[in-house]
Amino acid sequence: MSGSKTVPNALGPAWASWLGIVAVVFGILLTAANVNEWMIQRVITSDGAAMQGMKPRCPEDELLEEGISLEECKLMIAKVRIMVVSRPNWFRDFQMSLSLIGAIIAFGSIFVGLALVQYSNWAPRAAVVTFSALLVIDALGFAAATNTGPLLRATYLWNILLWFSIHLIMAAGACAGQHIKDTD
Amino acid sequence: MQTQNFTTTAVIMHWLIAVSIFFLFISSWWMLALPFPSIDFKYRVFPFQLHKNLGITIVFMLIILLYVRLRYRPTPVFSAGERPLLLRLAFLDHVILYILIFTCCISGYMSSSYSGWSTTLWWVLELPHWGYEDEELNMFYSDIHLWTCWALLAFVSVHVGGALYHAFRNDGFVRRMLRL
């Protein structure tokens, strides 16, 4: 650590700093969540062992290693079966595409957040576009999840509604920021 | 060498590590609820391989980040009203974060080594099998992996909380790690 100190970088308006850091934090979480959703759909196929009536393997040493009971181990198969049984045929492909696009836009939103904190000239408009795109992704995901069975709706809907609310706040904030910038 | 901000490499590594860590947390909670692997049940194979690949990659990214951070140190930012104790705590949080990330990744790899499962880095490079199948050592490293990861999540929360605090104050601190 050096003893010399410097003044802060040139500061933009407070709203841009606040919205920017929020976009970065949520962008990181949403990118991770979308890649995870893509992986879930990739791994759980309709023709896997869980759908062929096979019994899961539950050796005692592995139960001990993961700290779970025999009952829990047997129920793990239900997690896979719920996904396969409750989703319509089109859901897997749709969800994989949507989560991939969502991951890309969410990753982009991290950089939009960085640009907002720096208060780059293009950042407010890019924020409006990016956060609105995330809203559309949420709406599409919500519409898709409402067309699944109740077991998947219970898993997805509340989660998506939460993200929709977050993106609505961010998009409204970006629009307000853009308006402030235009009137300045 | 001193610079005003963090280097582009440091910034990119920082954010890539951040996304990777959160993905590893979220995906691990999900994949550990999948049926145990067997000849028929292969649900865990892809998620575990991806988990190990990312964990190993994080170690390399962390080494690069540490190198560029030590090689090109940004000058500390002066902020009115900044308390020296907070600065010292922030420094300590960073050091603990680096140690936890490193320990978490290495213990995960060691646990895997003693589990009898092989690791092919990004499905291309077969990594040497340092360990042998040993349930006790697997459990030992697995426990270290588990607890260091929980601790990491706690310290990441402190780190993010600190970053938010500075961003809401708009005092220029976080701006240095947000500049490409």
Supply the CATH number for residue B157's domain.
Answer: 1.20.950.20
From B75, which residue of chain A is nearest by alpha-carbon distance?
A5
- pLDDT over threshold 90, residue B88: no
Task: Determine the straight-line distance between the first and last CA of chain A, rounded to whole angstroms.
Answer: 40
* Residue A3 pLDDT grade (very low, low, confident, very high; cuts 50, 70, 90): very low
Q: What is the pLDDT of residues A93-118, one digit of tens each?
A: 999 999 999 999 999 999 999 899 88
Q: Is the predicted ipTM greater than 0.90, yes or no?
A: no
Half-sphere exposure of A127 (CA within 13 A, CB side): 38
Residue in A8, A28, A49 nearest the CB of B171: A8
How many domains does chain B fold into? Answer: 1
* Residue A184 pLDDT grade (very low, low, confident, very high; cuts 50, 70, 90): confident
- Find the domain containing B18 and state its range: 2-178
What is the arithmetic mean of pLDDT over B90-113? 91
User: How deeply is A67 buried, as exposed, middle or buried, from its count of CB atoms within 10 A (0-12, 13-18, 19+)?
Assistant: exposed
Q: What is the pLDDT of residues B37-60, one digit of tens each?
A: 877 778 888 899 999 999 999 999
Q: Which pLDDT belongs to residue B78?
A: 58
Least confident of A63-77, A159-173, B10-24: A63-77
Helices (H), chain A: 14-43, 60-66, 70-86, 91-118, 123-146, 150-183
Q: Report which of B18, B157, B4 is spatially closest to residue A10, judged by C-alpha positions.
A: B4
Average pLDDT of chain A?
88
- Tell me whether residues B36 and A14 touch, CB distance under 8 A: no
Residue A11 near residue B162, CB atoms below 8 Å: no
Q: What DSSP state is assigned to residue B173?
A: T
- pLDDT over threshold 80, residue A9: no
Residue in A7, A50, A117 nearest the CB of B167: A117
- Tell me whether residues A17 and B2 touch, CB distance under 8 A: no
Query: Would residue A5 be called left, alpha or beta, if left means φ above 0 and alpha means ψ between -120 and 50 degrees?
Result: beta
- What is d(CA A119, CA B69) in angstroms, rounded to the nearest whole number? 25
- What is d(CA A32, CA B31) in angstroms, rounded to the nearest whole number? 14
Q: What is the pLDDT of residues A35-49, one digit of tens each?
A: 999 999 999 888 877
Q: What DSSP state is assigned to residue B39?
A: S
* Residue B89 pLDDT grade (very low, low, confident, very high; cuts 50, 70, 90): confident
Strand ranges in chain B using DSSP code E only, listed in sequence order: 2-3, 73-74, 120-121, 125-126
Query: The pTM is what?
Result: 0.83
* Residue A4 pLDDT grade (very low, low, confident, very high; cuts 50, 70, 90): very low
Give Rg (Cα) of chain A: 22
Q: Report which of A82, A80, A97, A81 is spatially closest to residue A37, judged by C-alpha positions.
A: A97
Task: For an interface test with B, give the residue of A30, A35, A61, A84 to mutate (most B CBs within 10 A).
Answer: A35
Query: By three-state DSSP, how is residue B142 classified?
Result: helix
If you count them, how many residues does chain B have?
180
What is the arithmetic mean of pLDDT over B96-115? 91
Tokens of B30: 């999900």
Chain A to chain B Cβ contacts (< 8 Å): 150
- pLDDT over threshold 90, residue B123: no
Q: What is the pLDDT of residues B94-105, one digit of tens each?
A: 999 999 999 999
For residue B2, which phi and psi values (nearest 5 degrees)?
-105, 140
* Residue B144 pLDDT grade (very low, low, confident, very high; cuts 50, 70, 90): very high
Q: Report which of A42, A34, A53 is spatially closest to residue A93, judged by C-alpha positions.
A: A42
Q: What is the dihedral of CA B14, A130, B154, B159, to 10 degrees?
A: 50
Secondary structure element (H or E) that encloses residue B61, with its range = helix B45-71
- pLDDT over threshold 50, residue A1: no
- Tell me whether residues B135 and A61 touch, CB distance under 8 A: yes
Q: Which pLDDT belongs to residue B180?
A: 64
From B15, which residue of chain A is nearest by alpha-carbon distance?
A28
- Tell me whether residues A73 and B178 touch, CB distance under 8 A: no
- Tell me whether residues A4 and B76 touch, CB distance under 8 A: yes
The β-bridge partners of B74 are B3
- Tell me whether residues A50 and B35 touch, CB distance under 8 A: yes
- Tell me whether residues B75 and A4 touch, CB distance under 8 A: yes
